[in-house]
Amino acid sequence: MSLFSNYSDSQLIFLLQKANEDAFTEIYNRYWETLFAIAFHYSGSKELSEEVTQDIFMDLWNRRSAIVIKDLPAYLATSAKFAIFKQLLKIKRRKQLLEQGPAPVISLSEEETINARFLKEYLNGLVESLPEKCRIVYKYSRDEGMNIPEIAQAMNISDKTVESHLTKALKTLRSGLHHVKLWPFLFMLLIAVILTEI
C-alpha cells in the first residue's frame, strides 16, 4: 500500500496538477478497473475497453495543468461513457460505409445526440458538486423557473445573495465545461442555455 492510497481524490487532483507522477499512479490504480468495466459494459470488447481506458488516463495526464475536476469518479465515469460511445459510433459508421458504399449512413444528428446526452450528464455532475446553497439556488432558477426575488423569498435570503450564488454557479459550470472535449457549437449552445436560465 502506497502513501498516496490514503489521500483523498481532491488531494490527488491537486498533486496531479503539480505533475506528481505518484498521485497520477494512485488515480490510475484506484479507477482503472471501474473505467474498464464501464467501457466493457457498453462495448463488450476487451480490446476496445482497454484502449479507451488508457486514452482517458493519457488525456488526464496531458491536460493535468488546465483540468478542473470537482468530482473525480463522476468525471472519469462520464469520460469513459462519452469515449466509448464515440468509438462505437465510429466503428458503426466505418462498417456501414464498407457495406453500403461511400454515402454516409449515419446522420450528424445521431452523433450530436450522443454528445448532447453525455454533455447533459456531465453538466448534472457539475451542478451536484456545487456548494449546497449555491446548488439549491441554481436548481430553483433552472428547474423551477423562479426569478431572483422568488428565490430570495423561498430561501429567506437577500436578492444580492441569490445573485451571488447564481454568478458563482455559472462561473463554476463554465469553468468545468471549458475543459471538456466538446464540439464548439455544443459548448456554446449549452452556455447560451445556462445564461438564459440564469
For 76-105, what is the mean pLDDT? 72
For 179, list phi and psi in degrees, rounded to 5.
-100, 10
Secondary structure (3-state) at 19: coil
Per the CB < 8 A criterion, the answer to whether 72 and 15 are in contact is no
Angle between helices 72-100 and 9-17 in degrees, nearest 10: 70
Q: Mean of the per-residue pLDDT values for the chain? A: 78
190 residue type, one letter: L
Do the domains spanning 1-106 and 110-198 agree at the CATH topology level? Answer: no
What residue ranges do the domains of the chain occupy?
Answer: 1-106, 110-198
Amino acid, single-letter form, for residue 78: T
Give tens-digit pLDDT for 98-137.
Answer: 666 554 444 545 556 666 666 677 677 777 778 888 888 8
User: Class of 110-198 per CATH?
Assistant: mainly alpha
Span 50-78, pLDDT tens digits: 998 998 999 889 888 877 788 888 888 88
Model confidence over 126-153: pLDDT tens digits? 777 788 888 888 888 887 788 888 888 8
Per-residue model confidence (pLDDT) at position 24: 92
The CATH number of the structural domain formed by 1-106 is 1.10.1740.10
